[in-house]
Amino acid sequence: MAVYKKTYRPYEGGLTPSWSRFFVVTRYAFEDLRRSRFLSIFYLTTFIYPLICALIIYVQHNASVLNLFGAQGTNRLISINVVFFMSLLGWQSMLALFLAAFIGPGQVSPDLANNALALYLARPFSRTEYVLGKMTVLLGLLSIMTWIPGLLLFGLESYLEGWSWATDHMQFATAMFIGAWIWILILSLLALALSAWVKWKPAAGGLMFGVFFVAAGFGATINAVQRTTWGHLFNISYLIGSVWVRLFEGANPTTNGAIFFRAPQGEVLPIWCSWASLIGLCLICLYMLRRKIRGTEVVR
Amino acid sequence: MDPVVELDSLEVRFGPRTILNKLKASLTGRAIGLLGPNGAGKSTLLNTLLGFHPPAAGTARIFGRDIRTHAREVRGLIGYMPENDSFIAGMSGVRFVRMMAELAGLPREHALERAHEAFFYVGLGEVRYRALGTYSLGMKQSAKLAQAIAHGPKLLFLDEPTNGLDPPMRTRMIQLIQEIRDRGDLHLILSSHLLRDVEECCDQVLILKDGRIAAFCNLEEERRLNRQFLEIETRGGANGNFLETIEKLGCETATGAQGRVKLILPEGLDVRRLYEVAAEQDVQIRRLNHKRDSLEDIFLKAMETPKEPANGSL
């Protein structure tokens, strides 16, 4: 119907499958994020480290390139081992924290501040789908900068080193995939939960860093005052680092974690404590989202 | 006629407070008004029907679908215009409505087309690319209506649609609602505390008071019955006896201030008889006006009645 007719008419066309509707939220959120030039530039810079890693792997396997620069033997300086991949994961995960703190608070808080949730949820669209739709934005962006480059680098190394290397070191790939997903999930849930509770975007972003750094400081204070190591339970980077070490190296680790995610020597907590704390954190975030993501706020 | 909304002992509680108390009604009208003072439970009822509040007891059905078990299906049939400002400030009007239509299940191209149509329909065609945050209050109300109708719902919930509108904008909004109603493609439920809005748009009215149904009436039927509604002003004599006597004659009465009495004459009773009774009681009838049975009278009567659940079936 032409718009000039200006009459109401019912809709009689087909509908999209209901399972796919959460992608609507994701798509619109992506479109909004794409408009930010700062974000685009920052996001592009997050690929510098993986590119350097790719270059290192390439140079490692091309003696002719090293000879060209008169640097024979330097391929022994950097080895492609657990430290290499864990460092990649550590760097990228730290950048992921910055990205999540930057874009996470803008996901839910504007909808809450403008009472838009009632409009979303008055449609055949559930709270879970809303959270999933918003979370997919973070999951997608953070995946592209963490485990996807990690696996691509693993593939490149396998291709250049030989597939027997791949089978021998398959644990690196699985550890990177699972380890990155744990981190991404925690970041996404935390960003959305804080965004749901703190309607002012800068405050929500600041709080995100607060949860990581202030809580770690609090844990360190407990350790110092009580002469214990249990204060590390408040240190998310410690918890995630210890989980990564277990994923990469099993029960007999040779390292104490990745860059930014290290457990101090001799201060190791049982691994189940780390898992339990991280699961607890996720559950708290889900509870916070459950409390806030509602069609209408009830004043009891 | 199949009921649009059936309330089956619907009860909603917020903590210890009972907000909706065992509502029982079967609403069949094309345009149903929800009337009541602030805090009567109108918005809570709409929110409950949308699935925002779980019923503590009982249930409700919309077009025969239970809101407890078929919540998603029910919401697919509804267009909702909330009472408060609800929008996404940075979004342009048409993008916002398009997104809402897509969430309701419309494919992208259809959603875009319908968003443009809805914007022109509500009179915001020229400003549809402007950010919603820059809209005036009246424009925001119209944008809310646009998002409520863009996906072509079967039932439209309008929660205080004329809130904060100036007289011309209010008239425009009422005209739009009447137009949508008269097309006959959808049913609408209009919640308001403004009697005029409801009277102008609705054919059935459910009056809520303290979370209970205080009255339920079919305005169309009331209008058709053409009952004789009078307002008289009396002086002197024992007014109580006068009222008692005319009630015995079959009149329904309601007393107002300064000797004013509103009454409905039963069929067959002539106005002359009132003068005769007044003369017998030594009461002067100083003024007598013929009035239509207005919603205001029904509402006031409903507000006077003591707390007891009314049955809302017609």
CATH number of the domain residue B246 falls in: 3.30.70.270
Please report how many Cα atoms fall inside a 13 Å half-sphere around the Cα of residue A119, on the Cβ side: 31
At A89 the pLDDT is 93
Range of the domain at B166: 5-219
Residue pair A192/A104 in contact by the 8 Å Cβ criterion: yes
Q: Which of B53, B85, B106 sits opposite A11 (nearest CB)?
A: B106
pLDDT at B228: 72
pLDDT over 60 (residue A234): yes
What distance in Å separates the CA atoms of residue B40 and residue B30, rounded to the nearest whole number?
A: 23
A116: nearest CB among B87, B117, B151: B87
Q: Tell me: the pLDDT tens digits for B283-301?
A: 888 888 876 656 777 777 7
Distance from CA of B163 to the nearest CA of A (A): 16
Residue B78: its chain A contacts at CB < 8 A? 122
Instruction: Give A5-10's long-range contacts (Cβ < 8 A, gap of 24+).
Output: A6/B120, A6/B121, A7/B121, A7/B179, A7/B183, A8/B121, A8/B149, A8/B179, A8/B180, A8/B183, A8/B185, A9/B117, A9/B152, A9/B185, A10/B152, A10/B154, A10/B185, A10/B186
B273 and B135 together in one domain: no
Can you tell me the mean pLDDT for B171-194?
A: 90
Yes or no, beta carbons of A124 and B85 under 8 Å apart: no
pLDDT value at position A180?
95
SS3 A291: helix
Residues B118, B32 share a domain: yes
Whether B314 has a pLDDT exceeding 50, the answer reads no
Nearest Cα of chain A lies from the Cα of B303 at a distance, in angstroms, of: 25
Q: What burial class does residue A103 get, using C-beta atoms within 10 Å of its C-beta: 0-12 exposed, 13-18 middle, 19+ buried?
A: buried
Smallest CA–CA distance, residue B234 to chain A, in Å, is 48
Distance from CA of B172 to the nearest CA of A (A): 14
DSSP codes of every residue in B233-257: EEESS-HHHHHHHHHHTT-EEEE-S
CA distance B3 to chain A (A): 20
Q: At B19, is the secondary structure helix, strand, or coil?
A: strand
Contact B314/B204 with Cβ under 8 angstroms?
yes
Residues B247, B143 within the same domain: no
Evaluate whether residue B310 is within a structural domain: no
Check pLDDT > 50 for residue A201: yes
Indicate the domain borders of chain A.
Answer: 21-292
Q: Which of A114, A293, A297 to mutate to test the interface with B (most CBs of B within 10 A)?
A: A114
* pLDDT score, position A213: 86
Are B191 and B288 in a shared domain? no
Cβ atoms of residues A196 and A187 within 8 Å: no
* Tokens 């999540």, located at residue: A100
Q: What's the number of domains chain B is made of? A: 2
B75–A300 CB contact, under 8 Å = no
C-beta atoms of A16 and B180 within 8 A: no
Q: Which residues of B touch A12 (CB under 8 A)?
A: 152
State the Cα angle at B157 between B155 and B159, rounded to 5°. Answer: 170
The one-letter code for the residue type at A118 is: A
CATH code assigned at B105: 3.40.50.300
Point out the residue among B82, B90, B180 whose CB comes nearest to the CB of A118: B82
Average pLDDT, chain A: 88
Give the up-direction half-sphere exposure of residue A74: CA atoms within 13 A in the CB hemisphere: 15
Tell the residue number behind the tokens 């009952």, with chain if given. B227
Chain B residue with CA closest to A28: the answer is B99
ipTM value of the model? 0.84
Residues B148 and B275 reside in one and the same domain: no
Q: Are residues B161 and B71 in the same domain?
A: yes
Facing residue for B117 by CB, picked from A1, A12, A120: A1
Residue B308 domain-assigned (yes or no): no
Assigned domain for B119 exists: yes
Using 50, 70 and 90 to split pLDDT, how confident is the model at A154? Answer: very high
Q: What is the mean pLDDT of chain B?
A: 86
Q: Specify whether B207 is located in the same domain as B233.
A: no
Does the pLDDT at position B312 exceed 90?
no
Backbone φ and ψ of B100, nearest 5°: -65, -40
Both B101 and B134 in one domain: the answer is yes
* Pair (B233, B215) in one structural domain: no
Residues of chain B in contact with residue A13, where contact means CB-CB under 8 angstroms, are: 106-107, 110
Average pLDDT over residues A194-215: 86
Q: Is residue B303 part of a domain?
A: no
Q: Which pLDDT does position B225 carry in this prediction?
A: 62
Nearest by CB to residue A119, choosing from B15, B76, B82, is: B82
Same domain for B108 and B147? yes
Closest chain A C-alpha to B135 CA, distance in angstroms: 14
For residues B281 and B157, state if they share a domain: no
The answer to whether residue B211 is domain-embedded is: yes
Q: How far is A27 from chain B (nearest CA, A)?
A: 10
pLDDT tens per residue, range A175-189: 999 999 999 999 999
B26: which residues sit within 8 A by CB, 6+ positions away?
B3, B5, B6, B7, B312, B313, B314
Quickly state the pLDDT bin for B261 (edges 50, 70, 90): confident
Question: Chain A partners of B106 at a C-beta cutoff of 8 Å?
Answer: 11, 13, 15-16
The yes-or-no verdict on residue B308 having pLDDT over 70 is no
For chains A and B, CB pairs below 8 A equal 124
H or E segment to which residue B198 belongs: helix B195-201
The per-residue pLDDT for A1 is 47
B188-220 pLDDT, tens per residue?
999 988 888 888 899 899 999 889 998 888 877
Give B100's contacts in chain A (Cβ within 8 Å): 119-120, 123
**Cross-strand bridge partners of residue B290:** B230
Q: B105–A15: do the CB atoms touch at under 8 Å?
A: yes
Please give the average per-residue pLDDT across B217-225, as a whole number: 73
Taking contacts as CB-CB distances below 8 angstroms, the residues of chain A near B50 are 121-122, 295
pLDDT digits (tens, 9 = 90+) for B49-81: 999 999 999 999 999 999 999 999 999 999 999
Instruction: Return d(Cα B118, Cα A7) in angstroms, integer.
Output: 9
d(CA A86, CA A176): 8
Chain A's closest residue to B154, CA to CA, is: A10
Q: Given A3, A16, A299, which is nearest B116 (Cβ)? A: A3
Q: Tell me the C-alpha distance between B190 and B174, whole Å.
A: 11
- Residue B307 in any domain: the answer is no
- Which residue of chain A has the CA closest to B185? A10
Tell me whether residues B14 and A300 touch, CB distance under 8 A. Answer: yes
Domain identity same for B53 and B105: yes
Contact flag A114-B89 (C-beta cutoff 8 Å): yes
User: How does pLDDT run across A99-118, given as a tens digit for each residue?
Assistant: 999 998 888 888 888 889 99
Q: pLDDT tens, A25-45?
A: 999 999 989 888 999 999 999
Closest CA to B30 of B223, B187, B200, B201: B187
Among candidate residues B190, B219, B248, the one where a domain is terminated: B219
Contact A157, A84 (CB under 8 A): no
How far apart are the C-alpha atoms of B292 and B297, rounded to whole Å?
10
CA dihedral over B164, B168, B170, B172, signed as positive or negative: negative
pLDDT in tens, B228-239: 778 888 887 655
Residues of A with CB under 8 A from a CB of B: 1, 3-4, 6-16, 18, 21, 24-25, 28, 32, 110-111, 113-116, 118-126, 294-296, 298-300
